[in-house]
């Protein structure tokens, strides 16, 4: 019993090429936006979203969740 | 037959040229150039607010809970610890069957946590059992390589990435995989789910990042650019882009709609690999953990480095920003986690 015949190997090779080309075709047809449009969109989102890790742009939070008071320590009198 | 193969080869070259042309036509500027008119950020004032001590060996992974208060960490001391990040209390300390853990995740509901590593499995733990104790709910086994990352979509579905070069989607209740994602040609190191949960992005040792459609299992986009293993990927807050960190000492930003790299974050005196990346809630800041024990903070738009968070005595292996954007946590091989704000 022989292994895959040489024509079998060619069939596989062709199949793989055709599948690869199909994916390339899909990539070609894919709709892409320009770098300027993508950049504008990213900038718009960033500048429009409140971010309390950047107080110079968005101010300080109303209260500091990490201040000692927040943890409710008890005092011993 | 030989002629058909030759034709197919020619067509492939033709298509690749056409794709290159199309992409070049859209390359009209750069994010960096368009951000020049924005005010540079003055050095950000983020400092250590809490130190979470308790692990006895290197910490490999951490993940915030959706309640913005709790987080889970995994260490090769064989434990998962669930912390209250504000009080520093340990809420649960879960002993693991295998101590070679590489990843952990917190389910959005807070009911479950998951972890995995060199045991090639993803173990799910139920935190809210009727009896009150934490129990193993499922052991998801199908990967033939180490588990590098896991992320819950909800209590029923979890995504995993593996050293076997594949990613898998699992039905937690059934304990079985429902989808396999194959296309990478190297160990997959990290994954991040899009905010609308329709897609996820993966980063691998083949230097590429791939975007996948969760329903169909197909790889819909592949991003090249990195020159070495990608160790970390994280979606940008609005889901239109994602950040990556690599052994090539750079972080990059890729945009899905433009289908290309938008920015690179690097410096001549940064020579070590990046282990982890995360964005602040607006996406303006990108936190990146490095092998040189530091965390660098980048202005995502202008690509300036706006801060260096020095606080660990060994590699920063993981980091994450809480969902309300108020705190960032780093985990390190120095056995501690630090919460910054």
Q: What is the ipTM of this complex?
A: 0.93
Residues 46-75 of A with CB under 8 A from B: 46-47, 49-57, 61, 65-66, 70-71
The 10 Å CB-count burial string (b at 16+, else e) for A28-38 is eeeebbebbbb
As given in the structure block, the two tokens for residue B123 are 């173990």
Which of A10, A24, A35 is closest, CB to CB, to B12?
A24
CB-based contact B125:B150 (threshold 8 Å): no
Three-state DSSP at B152 gives: strand
Q: In chain B, what residues touch A12 (CB-CB under 8 Å)?
A: none
Q: In chain B, what residues touch A15 (CB-CB under 8 Å)?
A: none
Using 50 as the pLDDT threshold, list the residues of chain B that sit under it: none
A68 falls in which pLDDT band (50, 70, 90)? Answer: low
pLDDT tens, position by position, B79-125: 999 999 999 999 999 999 999 999 999 999 999 999 999 999 999 99
B46 contacts chain A (CB < 8 A): yes
pLDDT tens, position by position, A31-54: 999 999 999 999 999 999 999 999
As given in the structure block, the two tokens for residue B144 are 């033939």
DSSP 8-state symbol, A6: H
Q: Do B241 and A50 touch (CB under 8 A)?
A: no
Question: What is the Cα gyration radius of chain A?
Answer: 30
Q: How far apart are the first and last CA of chain A?
A: 93
Chain B residue closest to A50 (CA)?
Answer: B282
A34 contacts chain B (CB < 8 A): yes
A28 contacts chain B (CB < 8 A): yes
Could you give the CA distance from residue B2 to residue B306 in angstroms, rounded to a whole number?
58
CB-based contact B94:B79 (threshold 8 Å): yes
Three-state DSSP at B206 gives: coil
Q: What is the largest CA-CA distance in chain B?
A: 71
Tokens 């972890």 correspond to: B115
pLDDT tens, position by position, B151-196: 999 999 999 999 999 999 999 999 999 999 999 999 999 999 999 9
Could you give the CA distance from residue B185 to residue A55 in angstroms, rounded to a whole number?
43
**pLDDT for A70 beyond 50:** no
The 10 Å CB-count burial string (b at 16+, else e) for B297-331 is bbbbbbbebbbebebbeebbbbbbbbeebbbbbbb
Cβ-Cβ pairs closer than 8 A, A with B, add up to: 154
Chain B residue closest to A9 (CA)?
Answer: B1
CB-based contact A40:B241 (threshold 8 Å): no
Our CA angle for B108, B331, B111, nearest 5°, is 20
Structural domains in chain B, CATH included, are 1-340 (2.130.10.10)
Q: Where are the domains of chain A?
A: 2-50
pLDDT score of A72? 47
The model's pTM is: 0.94
């Amino acid at each position: 019993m022989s292994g895959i015949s040489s024509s079998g190997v060619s069939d596989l090779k062709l199949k793989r090429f055709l599948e690869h080309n199909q994916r390339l075709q899909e990539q070609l047809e894919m709709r892409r936006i320009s770098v300027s449009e993508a950049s504008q969109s990213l900038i718009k989102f960033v500048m429009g979203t409140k971010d309390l890790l950047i107080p110079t742009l968005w101010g300080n939070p109303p209260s500091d969740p990490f201040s000692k008071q927040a943890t409710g320590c008890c005092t011993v009198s | 037959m030989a002629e058909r193969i030759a034709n197919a080869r020619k067509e492939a070259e033709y298509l690749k040229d056409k794709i290159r042309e199309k992409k070049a036509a859209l390359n009209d500027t750069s994010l960096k150039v368009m951000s020049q008119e924005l005010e540079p950020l003055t050095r950000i004032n983020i400092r250590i607010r809490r130190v979470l001590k308790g692990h006895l060996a290197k910490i490999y992974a951490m993940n915030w809970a959706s309640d913005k208060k709790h987080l889970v960490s995994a260490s090769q001391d064989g434990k998962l610890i669930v912390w209250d990040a504000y009080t520093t209390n340990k809420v649960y300390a879960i002993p693991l069957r295998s101590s070679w853990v590489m990843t952990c995740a917190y389910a959005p509901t807070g009911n479950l946590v998951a972890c995995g590593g060199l045991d090639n499995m993803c173990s799910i733990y139920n935190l809210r059992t009727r009896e009150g104790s934490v129990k193993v709910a499922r052991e998801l086994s199908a990967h033939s390589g180490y588990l590098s990352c896991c992320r819950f979509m909800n209590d029923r579905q979890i995504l995993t990435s593996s050293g076997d070069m594949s990613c898998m989607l699992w039905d937690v209740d059934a304990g079985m995989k429902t989808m396999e994602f194959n296309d990478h040609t190297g160990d997959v190191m990290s994954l991040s789910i899009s905010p609308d949960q329709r897609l996820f992005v993966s980063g691998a040792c083949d230097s590429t990042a791939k975007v996948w459609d969760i329903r169909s299992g197909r790889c819909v986009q592949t991003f090249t650019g990195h020159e070495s293993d990608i160790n970390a990927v994280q979606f940008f807050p609005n889901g239109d882009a994602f950040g990556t960190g690599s052994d090539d000492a750079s972080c990059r930003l890729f945009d899905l709609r433009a289908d290309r790299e938008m920015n690179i974050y690097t410096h001549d005196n940064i020579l070590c690999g990046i282990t982890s990346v995360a964005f602040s809630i607006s996406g303006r800041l990108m936190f990146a953990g490095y092998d040189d024990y530091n965390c660098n903070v980048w202005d995502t738009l202008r690509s300036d480095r706006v801060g260096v968070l020095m606080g660990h005595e060994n590699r920063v292996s993981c980091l994450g920003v809480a969902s309300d954007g108020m705190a960032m946590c780093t985990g390190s091989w120095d056995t501690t986690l630090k919460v910054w704000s």
